Amino acid sequence: MDSLSTIILGGALFVIMLGMGLSLRVADFKRIVIDPKAVCVGLTNQLLILPLIGLLIASYVTNQPEIAVGIMILSACPGGPTSNLISYMAKGDLALSVTLTALSSLITILTIPFIITYASEHFMGTGQEVVLDIPSTILQIFGIVVIPIVLGMLVRRFKTSFAERMGRPVRIASGIVLALIIIGLVLKEKANFVSYFKQAGLATLLLNVLTMGVGYYSAKVFKLRKEAGISIAIESGIQNGTLAITIAVVFLQNSALAIAPAVYSLLMFLTGGVMIYFFGRRST
């Protein structure tokens, strides 16, 4: 990928995360104290169960090393802004969804480099694995995730009406940006994309559906409200595809590793739509 494309992709992710910051308030983080059980169940699903399911799928469902590492990149990523929109439309607990997205975005800054380093060594083998400078990678992810979120929160704090007006346009722009990124990847890899879709389609669909299912039923096990269960399911199954693609293309300089995140980003809108249809019709 050329330097201009790299800048555009990094800038697009920055804008998307800025948009998420516009929807956040400091009060959202108080849910850790107000509703600790729901937050703990959600984070456990995102930070522990999701990567474990990803590892099982990458190990047994696909035999393509680049696809396997792409699955693990997805598994390492936090929930994305899209999950908040889907939670809202599916009548989940929006405050919980936003809280989980924000917390997982902060925590995974530290876990992403280690998971990717392990996956690269495990699936690609000596001489092929991607070597990450872990401290540098942490700082880079911090720069394109945390800084724009904090800036967005500051704008909301001091320019509330502006932040509320910009919320919907930024969400729409985020969807358009993700679509353009996926189209660009498809065009770049068009000779192999059908083959990649055949190899990555089942793995990414399983990752999406299984993590949503485990998220929803774990909430039932812990006797959480239905709305909380819906949000935990969506947060567990709808990952930040744009961040995953950025890590693959910008940090790892390997567009083949972005195929699984790109396929996943297409499929998650379909499964997200099913969630909205199934749960969104119920009366509140």
Residue 192 lies in a domain: yes
Q: Is residue 194 part of a domain?
A: yes
Asked, for residue 281, whether it belongs to a domain, the answer is no
Residues in the chain, overall count = 284
Q: How far apart are CA 121 and CA 125, in angstroms?
A: 5
- Predicted confidence at residue 7, as pLDDT, reads 62
Are 214 and 45 in contact, with CB atoms under 8 Å apart?
yes
CATH code, domain with 110: 1.20.1530.20
pLDDT of residue 1: 47
Orientation angle between helical segments 50-60 and 94-124, nearest 10 degrees: 40
CB-based burial, 91-125: b 16+ in 10 Å, e otherwise: bbbbbbbbbbbbbbbeebbebbbebbbebbebbbe
- Specify if 282 maps to a domain: no
Separate counts of helices (H) and strands (E) for the chain: 13, 0
Identify the pLDDT of residue 82. 74
The pLDDT of residue 150 is: 82
Write out the residue range of the structural domain in which residue 173 sits: 3-272
Non-local CB neighbours of 211 within 8 Å, separated by 6+ positions: 45, 49, 50, 53, 236, 237
The structure tokens listed for 204 are 């990414």
Structurally, the chain folds into a number of domains equal to 1
Q: Is residue 279 part of a domain?
A: no
CB contact set of 234 (below 8 Å; sequence gap of 6+): 79, 83, 86, 87, 90, 92, 97, 212, 215, 272, 275
Residue ranges of the chain with per-residue pLDDT less than 50: 1-2
Cβ(51)–Cβ(75) below 8 Å: yes
